[in-house]
Amino acid sequence: MPKIRYYISGHGLGHASRGCQIINTLRRLYPEVRVEVVSNAHAWFFEGFLSRGVPVARRQLDVGVIQRDSLVMDEVETLRAARRLQRESRRLIEEETRSLRESGIDLAVSDIASKVFPAARGAEIMSVGIANFTWEWIYQDFVARHPDYADVVSALHGEYCQASKYLLLPFHGDFPAEVPQQELPLVARRAGRSRDEVRKDLGLAANRQVALVSFGGFGVDGLDLKALGRLKDWTFLVESRMGSGAENVQVIVHRALPYPDLVAAADVVVTKPGYGIVSEAVANDTAVLYVSRGAFREQALLVQALSRFARACEIDKKALLRGDWGPFLERALTQARPSESLQIDDGTVAARQLAELAGMERGSRA
């Protein structure tokens, strides 16, 4: 019975969202394959979206990006933390190698911690990365502004080069050229119920204009939700941690509804360009009003994706914080429908790849 260990970065929610989707599809298509997860992502996310019976062990093998809120990154502190973690590389890799052997793992999958790959090589099993970027690629941009941390990128490159294969999601950056690569369709969650059903559950009229305010669990410092009360034709759905402040701002009950259902029920998603929310907006044909998240290298790829495959427009940060959203919401709603489309699936292509790789003869070297 093949056994897969799937490592998921705790940075944001996009990694966990697509990871859960692929794992759920894998278990549906191949019930005989056993899967376990290693991640430091929010436990509530796995409780709500990961297939029952998949164990989750909490370990941190990457830093991601340290953020003050959804729109403000701390590049130097991120690089410092990455360097501190790198000093523990030998121990972490040795521990993970031993764990992979003792657990009888046939395939290690990473989205997208680099230390998984040398650990899998040490355990003499295949390893595959599924992602649209590596932390090496992200940190290269940081190091261009903070060159004293070039050693961090160099160390990550050595680890990422030890993967057996990369499965590349759309809107991806550069991956190590030494490693075989294969393109995947967009992996995104679609709504399970109709727009009208979801709105009925939320107590909203079918013809009400609705905006889903989505900032990845970090929130936005200084956002004036009270000012949204001026937009009386709109209802704004927000997470509980963001508070309320106006009659037309409705707090979403935690995990009461699947997030893709909320995306599909909204007329517009107000967000920053993040992989998970961009993918779900594209998959559910919901317009997007986005604000820049600063000098984050992935952002340009996601903005380009929105311009090609979605109805979207940008709001400047000052207008966002003031709650001066009206003209921008109208602009998002009146955007022409995209002329381009891309292949979207539920993770089936990735799941089939993983099942094939997991079925390889144990002991074959990566």
The yes-or-no verdict on residue 364 having pLDDT over 60 is: no
Distance of alpha carbon 62 from its chain centroid, rounded? 14
Q: Which CATH superfamily is domain 195-342 in?
A: Glycogen Phosphorylase B; (3.40.50.2000)
Average pLDDT of the chain?
94
Task: Please give the pLDDT value at position 161.
Answer: 98
Model confidence at 310: pLDDT above 50? yes
Predicted local confidence at residue 102, as pLDDT: 98
pLDDT at 365 over 90: no
Strands (E), 297-356: 312-314, 344-345
Q: Give pLDDT tens digits for 48-105.
A: 899 999 999 999 999 999 998 989 999 999 999 999 999 999 999 999 999 999 999 9
- Alpha carbon distances (Å) from 197 to 201, 203, 257, 262, 284: 6, 10, 11, 11, 15
What whole-number distance in Å separates Cα of residue 160 and Cα of residue 136?
8
Q: Which tens digits make up the pLDDT trace of 315-353?
A: 999 999 999 999 999 999 999 999 999 999 999 999 999
Residue 218 clears pLDDT 80, i.e. is over it: no
Least confident span in 146-160, 216-230, 345-359: 216-230
Q: Which of 89, 123, 14, 102 is nearest to 57 (CA)?
A: 102
* CATH 3.40.50.2000 domain locations along the chain: 3-185+346-358, 195-342
Beta pairing, strands 268-271 & 249-252: unpaired
The two three-digit tokens of residue 231, written as one number: 């937009």
Distance, CA of 62 to CA of 96 (rounded, Å): 13
Q: Quote the CA–CA distance of 362 and 107 in Å, as a whole number.
A: 9
Mean pLDDT of the 223-250 span: 90
Q: Which CATH number fits domain 3-185+346-358: 3.90.650.10, 3.40.50.2000, 3.50.50.60, 2.40.50.140?
A: 3.40.50.2000
Give the pLDDT score at 362: 41
Helices (H), 168-274: 195-202, 259-265
pTM above the 0.85 mark?
A: yes
